[in-house]
Structure formats: structure tokens, C-alpha cells
Structure 1
């Protein structure tokens, strides 16, 4: 099982020199979204989905309140997000578990859960 990251927006048509000069400024201006979308593309229901800040004192910023059926999607609101890098945990009804550390939610606002 893997978590696919889908880029919602991107930069197109910039020259390499201009792009490399713009990246540090863009990284500083990046803000975490107020919510992200979770799509369960597996055949098993998603029973647990949690998003937490990284580091030693991680803080839960989002989760699903009830199981998500196969093929369905849901918007998950983030509670006081800080920064772009998060830890994501997904558990399914068939006992499969997946996690991703350092997921950039400023860039990846849609998370597709697949086999």
C-alpha cells in the first residue's frame, strides 16, 4: 500500500535560472492549507487517518471522525497547522497500516490511498 501525492498546482514555463532564484522565496511564503482531501482508492475501508506535526513533541492537527468507505473521499480540516511537513498515518479495515513522514501538505493537498 502506498500514499500517492498529487500536486494541485505547479509552476510552468520558468527558465531554470529564474526558477532557482524564486524557490527560496516561495518556500518562505508557503502556508499550510486549512484542509486537505483524502481519497480512499483501496478495497478496504479506511478506519483511522491522522495528520500530526513532526518532531519530538508532535501535535495532532487532523483526523477522520468515522471510517471512509472504499472509493470515497473526504475533506479533513487542519487544526492550527504550522509549517508544511507532517506525519500521516492510515489504518484500514483489512489490518493494513501505512505511514508517511515529512509529507509536504503545502504542496500535496490531495492524498490518494492506494493498494
Structure 2
């Protein structure tokens, strides 16, 4: 009878160690998409939009080449993305700015700009 608890504990420990060993591999294999869909859900055009890496020396990953009309969408190609977290800065024709940091593009394949 004494062996059963030891075997159960051993199997639980083995299962936990397998989970811990595979989670970092899963996180490292996550990659951002080659492009991201940007939708302007505001009533005014987006005049500029930049997607950059976070940190003190951000690197530009994608940029809106021309204004995006209200209610329209565009696919932006990501230039050499690295990692999952990015910052998005959008400026609208009514001089409103939207600054979002820490957007996980490995999970979110689209960006929706709203009021």
C-alpha cells in the first residue's frame, strides 16, 4: 500500500515537469504574422500609424503609407518582426492620438482603432 502514493506522486511530478519543459518551447515558437490587419473604426481618418518594438530604442516594424479612411481596413506588412510585443501609435485627422504599448501580435492578428 505504501508504493501507490509514491508512484502517484512520481507521476504527478513527471507530468508537471513535462508541462514546464514544453511551455517555454511553446512560447519561443510563437511568431508574429507576416502582416497585420488594421481597421479604422473611428469616424475620422487615420493620418499616420506606426508599429514599433518596445523599449528605449524602438525599431519601426510597419507604417501606414497613406491615410486610412473611417470604416476602412488595410493589411500592413511587418518588416523583420522579432518577438511578440509591440507599440502602436496612431494619429487621427481630428488630432487625437492613440498610443498603445504591449500589443501581443502573436495572439492578435489585427488592430482595431476605436474611440
> Deviation digits for residues 16-41 of structure 1, max 9, x if unmatched?
x99xx354332111011110000000
RMSD: 1.6
Q: Which 4+ runs in 1 deviate beyond 6 A?
A: none
> Deviation digits for residues 74-103 of structure 1, max 9, x if unmatched?
000011111101111011001110111111
Task: Point out which structure has higher relative CO (alpha carbons under 8 A, 6+ apart).
Answer: 1
Equivalent residue, structure 1, for 2:52: 52
Deviation at 1:55, TM superposition (A): 1.4
Pair 1:28 & 2:23 matched: no
Q: Provide the aligned length of Structure 1 versus Structure 2.
A: 97
Structure 1, unmatched stretches of 5+, are: 1-16
Q: Point out the structure with the larger strand share.
A: 1
TM-score (norm. length: structure 1): 0.79
Pair 1:88 & 2:88 matched: yes
TM-score (norm. length: structure 2): 0.79
Structure 2, unmatched stretches of 5+, are: 1-14
> Deviation digits for residues 31-61 of structure 1, max 9, x if unmatched?
1111000000000000011000111221101
Q: Point out the structure with the larger helix share.
A: 2
